[in-house]
Structure formats: structure tokens, C-alpha cells
Amino acid sequence: MTEHDRAGRQARPPTDPRNSWATWTTQSIISGPGGVTTAEIGPISGDLTVHTTWVDGEARLTVQYTGALDWYTVSGSPVPAPDETTARAIHQAMVNGVKTGRGASAPAPPADA
């Protein structure tokens, strides 16, 4: 028997973050002084692109010089993100961090994560 919600529509099971994923990319962000700190090469600055992948309940943050081939892990990544909405907020916080600069690293997870 199939479960239905109050409106008679077939009910969906809750999304399991281990079986879900999403990705966001923001290009051509001019970093603030001090740029972003990466795990591989330290700080980078200039015209940067931020990419976030949400998978397995975490937001994985990477950065590159816009138009380059190499991607670098943002220091402090991955960040726990129990759902897609939280991961999207983490991506936006990272974009804002790049704009601020000062050796930005991955934002802390939200208090309710």
C-alpha cells in the first residue's frame, strides 16, 4: 500500500543526504586583500571561482583562479551540512568570505547543523 499525504498526493520519503547531492559554482569573484586560504598552496587572491558540492551530508568547498584548470581545497573544508539548504547557505557564506579576503577559510557550520 502506498502512503498519501492529506491532499491525496503520494507521500515522498524524507531525503537521505547520503543519497542526494547538489553543486553550486560562483565565478569571477574579486577577492578581498589576503584572498582565500587553500589546503594545497596556502593563500590565493585575485579573480576567483568558488565551487561547492553537497554530498554525504557535507559541503565540500574548492576554489580556483577563474579560467584555470586546477582546483584547490578551501582550508577547513568539508563543512557538515545535513541538508541542501544548509549547504547552499555555506556556499554563499564562502562567496562572501572570498569578497572579504583576509585569508578566508571555510565557514563554520550553522549552529543547528
Asked if residue 76 is part of any domain, the answer here is yes
| Cβ atoms 79, 56 nearer than 8 A | no
The pLDDT, as a whole number, for residue 35 is 97
Asked if residue 111 is part of any domain, the answer here is no
Number of domains comprising the chain: 1
Asked if residue 89 is part of any domain, the answer here is yes
Asked if residue 8 is part of any domain, the answer here is no
Q: How confident is the model at residue 8 (pLDDT cuts 50, 70, 90)?
A: low
Answer whether residue 111 shows pLDDT above 90: no
- Regarding predicted confidence, which is higher, 90 or 4? 90
Asked if residue 81 is part of any domain, the answer here is yes
Structural domain boundaries enclosing 38: 17-100
Asked if residue 45 is part of any domain, the answer here is yes
How many other C-beta atoms can be found within 10 angstroms of the C-beta atom of residue 25? 12
pLDDT tens across 66-92, in order?
A: 999 999 999 999 999 999 999 999 999
Asked if residue 5 is part of any domain, the answer here is no
The pLDDT, as a whole number, for residue 6 is 53
Q: What DSSP assignment string belongs to 36-96?
A: EEETTTEEE-SEEEEEEEEETTEEEEEEEETT-S--EEBTT--EE-SSHHHHHHHHHHHHH
Instruction: For residue 3, give Cα distances in angstroms to 6, 15, 75.
Output: 10, 16, 44
| Cβ atoms 94, 74 nearer than 8 A | yes
Task: Note the pTM of the prediction, 2 decimals.
Answer: 0.81
Residue 3: DSSP 8-state:
-
pLDDT tens across 37-67, in order?
A: 999 999 999 999 999 999 999 999 999 999 9
Asked if residue 75 is part of any domain, the answer here is yes
Q: How confident is the model at residue 16 (pLDDT cuts 50, 70, 90)?
A: low
